[in-house]
Copies of this chain bind each other. A is one copy, B any other.
């Protein structure tokens, strides 16, 4: 029975890998579960349904795998900054786990583009947000950050949260794609990318709030 369990685990991993790549390249809505099963080398075209359920369930599993990879890195970084009163330190803990993770895997990776694709669908985007915010380190990170921005109106907090998410997701996806294609990138490393992105996100959060008409 151990061999059978191993085989099932391998099949699940192959499906998650193939789905992440196909969704990253073509968009989640453009790829069928059957195409994922085939790309994962499964003779059975219903392998996705059997192992994961619906396409939304499959997406959730890919996101969970990603969040789990970030969780440990973020917890370590938060422990190191302790109760810092520097906004930049907290924003760095939002950005660095993803860039360090991407750096650790070498190119090509697909997860940054996969995340960008999920962001274009309202249901999948909510899954990404919910799964990320459910991670204890992420809640701690956001609380620490918002503690340093006490005067910000609630709607501005929501708006700038959306903007930080969009900027982070698309800067990482654009860089991942450029690396994959051998194109030029504004920064030479993921670490330097994190530095520039962190500066920009700090700038967004500290920008004066202009009252709309």
Where the two chains meet, the residues of A that have a C-beta atom closer than 8 Å to any C-beta of B are 26-27, 29-30, 88, 113, 116, 119-120, 122, 155-156, 158-160, 162-163, 166-167, 170-171, 173-174, 177-178, 181, 183, 186-187, 189, 191-192, 195-200, 202-213
A191-B212, A200-B204, A203-B205 known; 9 new pairs, CB 8 Å cut-off, are A88-B210, A116-B120, A120-B173, A122-B177, A160-B200, A170-B170, A195-B211, A199-B209, A200-B203
B-chain residues with CB within 8 Å of residue A163 when the two chains form the complex: 167, 171, 196-197, 200
In whole angstroms, what is the CA distance A187 to B166 when docked? 16
B-chain residues with CB within 8 Å of residue A200 when the two chains form the complex: 160, 163, 203-204, 207
A101 to chain B, nearest CB (A): 18
Q: Is the interface of A mostly helix, strand, loop or mixed?
A: helix
B-chain residues with CB within 8 Å of residue A167 when the two chains form the complex: 163, 166-167, 170
Q: Could you jot down 6 A-B contacts, CB within 8 Å?
A: A160-B200, A163-B167, A166-B170, A167-B167, A167-B170, A203-B206
